[in-house]
A and B are shown apart, each in its own frame.
Chain A
Amino acid sequence: MKSPLRTPIAVLALAAFAAAPAFAATKYGKGVSEATPVKLSELMARPDDYVGKVVKVEGLITEVCAKRGCWINVAGDKEFQTIRIKVEDGVIVFPMTDKGKKVVAEGTFKKMELTKEQAIAKAKHECEEKGTKFDPASVTGPSTVYQIQGTGAVVE
C-alpha cells in the first residue's frame, strides 16, 4: 500500500536539498557593502581617524571565538597585526572551521580605554575562552583596545 506520507516526505527532501548551503562564500549578518576596504595597516597606523566610522576590512581569519563564535581575529596586509571583529552574540555565529579562511567584514570601528583592572578581566576572560592558563603579570597596566563592531561578513 502506498504510504500517505510518501509525497510530503519527498517534497520536504527536495526543499531541504534546495535550501542546503552551496559550497561558495558564506554571508554572515548583513554581509558587506560595495565600499572600498581599508587596509588593516592603515587602520592601525591612524586608528583615531576611523573611530566611530563604518569600515570594511579584508584579510585572513586567524582566530575564532571558541565559546560562542562571537568574534574573529583578522590579519591584514602586514605581519604581526590583527584586528578583532566582534559581533552580536547569536546574531552572527562564526564556526570554528572558518579559521584560516579569507574574510571581508564590515562594521563600526571602536576604541576602548581599559583600566588595568578591566584589562586584567579581559585577558582573564580570553584565557578562559581559549582554555589556557591566565598569568596576571601579563597585564602591566591600562590599555587601549581597538575593534570593529561587526554587522556583516563574507567568508570564502
Chain B
Amino acid sequence: MNWRKLNNVLHRDLGYLAAGLTLVYAISGVALNHRHQWNPSWKLDVEARSFAPIPVSDRDTMTAALVESLALPGPPKSSFRSAPHLVELFYEGWSVKADATAGTATVERPRGRFALREMNFLHLNEPKGIWTWAADVYAVILGFLAISGLFVLKGRNGLSGRGKWLAGLGVVLPLLALFFLLWRPGDSGPRGEGEGEGRGGGRPRGEARPEAGARG
C-alpha cells in the first residue's frame, strides 16, 4: 500500500470515528459561543404564585407558614433569608423565593436543555478524569484529519492545485482576524510589553476592563 492510499484509508476511518463527537463539539460550540445571551445548558421554569402575607418572625416559623400557604410538598431541604421578609426554600432540584410581606412567590425549576446540557457537559470537560484523555485523543485525531485531508486528492483538485489556495485562505483568515482584533494603529512591539492605555502594546481590543472582574 503506498503512502497516499494508507493516508486515505486512515482519513476515511478516523473520519467516521470522529464524526459523532465532531457534531457534539460543533453544536455545543455554537451554543457556548452565545452564552452571554443565554444559558446554553439550563433553562429556568418560573412560576409566579401569591398567598396571604405572613408576619415576619424567625425563619423556621416563616418557613412552616410558607409551606402551608403555598401548599408545598413538605418541609424544604434547607432555607435562607436574604432579608427579614425574603425567604428562600430549597427542595431537591427546585426552589421557592417568597416575599412574606408582599405575599408573592416564585417557584423556580432549572431544567437541563435537551441534549445540549449533555453536549456542553462533554465539551466543557466537566467530568474531567478519563474524559480529559478521551478529548485529547479526539483532538489528536482531528489534527490528523486536518493534515491527512490535505493529501487525499492529487492533481488539479489536490494540494498542488486549488487545495493550496483554499488551505492558504484557511490560514490567512484567522491571522487577519488576529491582526485586526489584537493590534491597533500605532502599536509598537509585542502586546504586553508597553505600559499605559491604548497604545504601545496595551490591552488588546475587546479585552475585559478591570471592573469586569466584579461581574459574573
Contact = CB atoms under 8 A, between A and B. Distances in A.
Interface of A: 15, 18-19, 21, 60, 62, 65-71, 75, 79-80, 82, 86, 90, 93, 95-97, 99-102, 110, 112, 114, 118, 121-122, 125-126, 129, 131, 145, 147
Interface of B: 35-36, 38-39, 41-42, 44, 59, 76-78, 80-84, 88, 90-91, 93, 95, 110, 124, 126-127, 129-131, 211, 213-216
Contact of A19 (B42, B130, B216): B130
A112 B78 CA distance: 31
A102 B39 CA distance: 23
A68 B35 contact: yes
Contacts of A110: 213
The 8 closest A-B pairs by CB, nearest first: A100-B90, A96-B110, A118-B211, A96-B42, A19-B130, A112-B214, A125-B215, A65-B216
Contacts of A101: 90
A80 B131 contact: no
Interface of A: prevailing SS: mixed
A65 B35 CA distance: 12
Nearest to B123: A90
Given A97-B110, A99-B95, A100-B90, A71 B216 contact: yes
A80 B82 contact: yes
B211 A121 contact: yes
Contacts of B129: 19
A79 B91 CA distance: 19
B47 to A, nearest CB: 14
A21 B216 contact: no
Contacts of B127: 19, 21
A91 to B, nearest CB: 9
Contacts of B130: 15, 18-19
Given A95-B42, A100-B77, A67 B216 contact: yes
B95 A100 contact: yes
Contacts of A129: 216
B199 to A, nearest CB: 24
B79 to A, nearest CB: 9
Contacts of A95: 41-42, 110
A110 B211 CA distance: 13
